[in-house]
Structure 1
Amino acid sequence: MVIEFILKVIAISSSGALAPGPLSAATAALGTKHGWKGGFMVSSGHLAVELPLVIVIAFFISSSGQIEEIMRPLALIGGIFLLLFGYLTLKSASEIGVVSVREQRFSPFLTGVALSAFNPFFIAWWAGVGSALISEALLIFGTLGIAILYASHIWIDFAFLSILAYFTSFKGLTVRAYKFLLVFLGTFVLFFGLDYLFFSLTGLHLPELMKKL
């Protein structure tokens, strides 16, 4: 159960972490000056915004005292977001090209804070997909589930952004390989989106249905 949940979090989180966006673009630019440490500090700034947000969402969900009752509505919202996010991930894979960067003088940590706190898609992701994952974590593991969820999620940001900064805008990762990775992750996210929608309607996850067939 723990491994299955961790793998789900990793698959869903990876699509967000690896998708081209302001944070990854800024990290690539900062890498020209700071190397991998720039990516690490951007991730630290991102964590400074994200962790409190996760704790607040978890608090409101757990304090409702009706985790099981709100699971299906949250799964519906999360499923819609995942389908949209999966589509955007696949769209990004078809559009990504050569990325050019310039040397930046901004603080990597403050860049991570600003591009997270003022990113509406980041907030929307946690309000939609993240809330569904948080409620599932609380239902299965209790309060410990938040630690399991976040540990399974945040290392991806640190790993990817540090590597991205080190290779300075995909110089160590070919565009073709990056596109393939996005297609792979986008497909996974679409599956989980369908799974969440199915759960919101039936109370069952798709793997559970497959076992019964």
Structure 2
Amino acid sequence: MELGFIIKVALISSSGALAPGPLTAATAAVGIKHGWKGGLWVSIGHLIVELPLVILIGLGVIAILTNDVVTQTLSLVGGIFLIFFAYLTAKDAINVKSIEASSISKSPLLIGISLSALNPFFIAWWVGIGSPLVMEALRYWGLAGIWILYVAHVWLDFAWLTGLARVTSLSRFSLRIYRILLITLALLVAMFGIDFVYYAFQGNHLLPF
């Protein structure tokens, strides 16, 4: 079950990490000039904003962990967010024309910090989708679950942003493959969203993990 949870975190995290957005576009542009190191610094900037947010969510979740109504409400909200996020991801995959931004930043670290801290959809993703995952991690491992959850999540950010920067530095990124990947992820995320909603009403999961 614990291994299944880690796999679930990685799959759901992919919906946020790989989705088209300002951070993805900026990283593609950064990669043209700075290569993979630019993507690495963007990832570090993203982590500087994201990790404190996850810890704050975790500390808040601990206080309400035993409340079944809150648990079911978070699962319902998280499920709705996941389904909506899956819809947006699939829509963007169909409509996206290019993942490259029009300008190249001189400070990849600042790009990572600013485009994370100033992105309300990033914060909403963690509040809406991340909270049920944090709650589940706390059930398995207590406070250590926050760190286990975050490691299971953040490696995707580093792998994606660093890899994207490297690929765009070579100017060989395939938009078709990018679209196929996003649509596949959208289907997986929608599946987890339905599972979250089902749990909110039935108290158990449809999926075996």
What range is the shorter-chain TM-score in?
over 0.9
SS at match of 2:172: coil
Query: In the alignment, which residue of structure 1 is the partner of 2:48?
Result: 48
C-alpha displacement of 1:66:
2.3
Distance 1:200 1:59 in 2: 22
Report the residue type matching 1:73 in the other structure: T
Query: In the alignment, which residue of structure 1 is the partner of 2:176?
Result: 176
CA offsets, 1:51-87, max 9 Å, x none? 0000011011113352555221110110010000000
C-alpha displacement of 1:93:
1.1
C-alpha displacement of 1:117:
0.4
Report the residue type matching 1:34 in the other structure: H
2:36 is aligned with 1:36: yes
C-alpha displacement of 1:177:
1.0
SS at match of 2:98: coil
Query: Where does 1:56-67 land on structure 2 (aligned, <5 Å)?
Result: 56-64=56-64, 66=66
Query: Where does 1:32-111 land on structure 2 (aligned, <5 Å)?
Result: 32-64=32-64, 66=66, 68-102=68-102, 104-111=104-111
Q: In 2, are the aligned partners of 1:100 and 1:169 still within 8 Å (CA)?
A: no
Q: In 2, are the aligned partners of 1:20 and 1:92 still within 8 Å (CA)?
A: yes
C-alpha displacement of 1:168:
1.2
Distance 2:39 2:145 in 1: 27
TM-score scaled by structure 2? 0.94
CA offsets, 1:87-121, max 9 Å, x none? 01111110122344445243101110000001000
C-alpha displacement of 1:171:
3.4
SS at match of 2:173: coil
Residue 203 and residue 46 in structure 1: after superposition, are their counterparts in 2 closer, same or farther (change >3 A)? same
Query: In the alignment, which residue of structure 1 is the partner of 2:3?
Result: 3
Q: In 1, are the aligned partners of 2:93 and 2:182 still within 8 Å (CA)?
A: yes
Distance 1:19 1:88 in 2: 9
Residue 135 and residue 177 in structure 1: after superposition, are their counterparts in 2 closer, same or farther (change >3 A)? same
Q: In 1, are the aligned partners of 2:65 and 2:71 still within 8 Å (CA)?
A: no
Distance 2:100 2:123 in 1: 27
Q: In 1, are the aligned partners of 2:38 and 2:165 still within 8 Å (CA)?
A: yes
Query: Where does 1:101-180 land on structure 2 (aligned, <5 Å)?
Result: 101-102=101-102, 104-168=104-168, 171-180=171-180
Q: In 1, are the aligned partners of 2:73 and 2:200 still within 8 Å (CA)?
A: yes
Identity across matched positions, percent: 51
Q: In 1, are the aligned partners of 2:24 and 2:99 still within 8 Å (CA)?
A: no
Q: In 2, are the aligned partners of 1:67 and 1:135 still within 8 Å (CA)?
A: no
Q: RMSD value over aligned CA atoms?
A: 1.8
Distance 1:122 1:102 in 2: 22
More deviation, 25-34/60-69: 60-69
Structure 1: runs of 5 or more not aligned: 209-213
Report the residue type matching 1:92 in the other structure: D
TM-score scaled by structure 1? 0.92
Provide the aligned length of Structure 1 versus Structure 2: 209
